[in-house]
């Protein structure tokens, strides 16, 4: 698709692959400072992402890409948005039953494992992403 002058070029990237790339009308993400919405003409920024859901409104369509990210960064400059995270799960690819099992296991480990809190937050973000696409 040719770049639309009224859109953003967005790259949603996990550590091992580009998960989604294309033109978008808007990107919504949760940073450590709060939610941010990015439209064309947004001021340059670089922020830390929280473990949460990222929403991408695809340009010239009613399609929305919903993904859970495990933290990372969002970079905005010159109508280009890069979302970089260790793991990225598209909402449509998330198996809710498996994530519920992971969430329960992580909750049981909260008192004995420092990593469990991160696992709980990531599982909760994945569940929110899956719910938003169903």
pTM, rounded to two decimals:
0.84
Per-residue model confidence as pLDDT tens digits over 54-80: 999 999 999 999 999 999 999 999 999
**DSSP state string for 48-115:** EEEEEEEEEEETTSS-EEEEEEEEEEEEEETTEEEEEES-EEEGGG--HHHHHHHHHHHHHTTTT-TT
Per-residue model confidence as pLDDT tens digits over 100-134: 998 888 887 777 777 778 888 888 898 899 988 87
Tokens of 23: 């033109």
């Amino acid at each position: 698709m040719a770049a639309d002058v009224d859109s953003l070029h967005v790259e949603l990237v996990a550590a091992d692959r580009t998960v989604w790339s294309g033109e978008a009308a808007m990107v919504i993400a949760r940073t450590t400072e709060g939610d941010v919405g990015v439209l064309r003409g947004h001021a340059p920024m670089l922020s830390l992402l929280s473990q949460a859901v990222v929403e991408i409104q695809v340009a010239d369509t009613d399609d929305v890409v919903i993904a859970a990210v495990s933290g990372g960064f969002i970079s905005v400059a010159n109508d280009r948005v890069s979302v970089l995270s260790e793991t990225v799960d598209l909402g449509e690819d998330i198996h809710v039953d498996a994530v519920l099992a992971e969430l329960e296991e992580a909750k049981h480990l909260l008192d004995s494992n420092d990593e469990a809190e991160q696992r709980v937050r990531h599982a909760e973000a994945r569940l929110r992403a899956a719910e938003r696409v169903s």
